[in-house]
Amino acid sequence: MTVYVSMLRAVNVGGSSRVKMSALQEIYESLGFVDVRTLLQSGNVLFRSGLKDRGQLAKRLRQEIERRLDLQIEVLVRTLAEIESIMERGPVLSPRADMNKLLVMFLADVPGAQEQARLVAWHKGSEMMEIRGPEIYLYYPEGIGRSKLSGAVIENRLNTYGTARNWNTLTKLLEAGRSISES
């Protein structure tokens, strides 16, 4: 069985889409997924499944969350192996770079060349942005708070939705996923 990491978009952020992690765990287990674990309060759920189609997994999860919690929340799913690869092939940053300022935005789709070009042409800030397939590495040297390169801007320019996780959270997801795969 494959270990998956699912990331819910815009959960428990700014008072909207409040979801208890215990409720999410129950939903995942009701769908027959095993070794279900939540991480932090931001909609990160790890689990095992014999299903291979990530898109179908995300659709089932989205539908069940809407049915049981009456919330329309996008769900992005990656395998543990994909998370590991994303972290191994991360961007080359200065040795002095603050890893707390590095995020990965997981996209629902691989953006088209035209959309990517539109985002790159628009971007004039100090942030580092590296689009690699359905993920974007984002480094905010001055912090994310004042940046104009927000998730909403990225989604709008790329014509897809996504959710971002910081490097620390990805490290924790990888560790939790490895403990599931070793059990």
pLDDT value of residue 51: 93
Q: Both 93 and 37 in a single domain?
A: no
Split into its structural domains, the chain has a count of 2
Averaged pLDDT of the chain: 92
Of 84, 104, 131, the residue that ends a domain is: 84
Is residue 140 situated within a structural domain? Answer: yes
- Point out which residues pair with 105 in neighbouring strands: 136, 164
Confidence of residue 14 (pLDDT cuts 50, 70, 90): low
Is residue 55 situated within a structural domain? Answer: yes
Q: Both 42 and 79 in a single domain?
A: yes
pTM value is 0.93
Q: Which domain holds residue 124?
A: 85-169
Which residue do the tokens 């004042």 mark? 146
Of 42, 64, 84, the residue that ends a domain is: 84
Residue 66: which CATH number? Answer: 3.30.70.1280
Q: Both 89 and 16 in a single domain?
A: no
Q: Both 61 and 101 in a single domain?
A: no
Q: Both 91 and 15 in a single domain?
A: no
Q: Both 119 and 154 in a single domain?
A: yes
Q: Both 33 and 58 in a single domain?
A: yes
Of 45, 68, 84, the residue that ends a domain is: 84
**DSSP class per residue in the chain:** -EEEEEEETT-SBTTBS---HHHHHHHHHHTT-EEEEEETTTTEEEEEES---HHHHHHHHHHHHHHHH-----EEEEEHHHHHHHHHT-----TT--GGGEEEEEESSPPPHHHHHHHHHH--SS-EEEEETTEEEEE-TT-STT-S--HHHHHHHHTS-EEEEEHHHHHHHHHHHHHHHH-
What is the tens place of the pLDDT at every residue in 114-135?
999 999 999 999 999 999 999 9
Strands 162-166 and 135-139, bridge-based pairing: unpaired
What is the tens place of the pLDDT at every residue in 32-87?
999 999 998 878 999 999 999 999 999 999 999 999 998 889 999 999 999 999 99
Is residue 175 situated within a structural domain? Answer: no
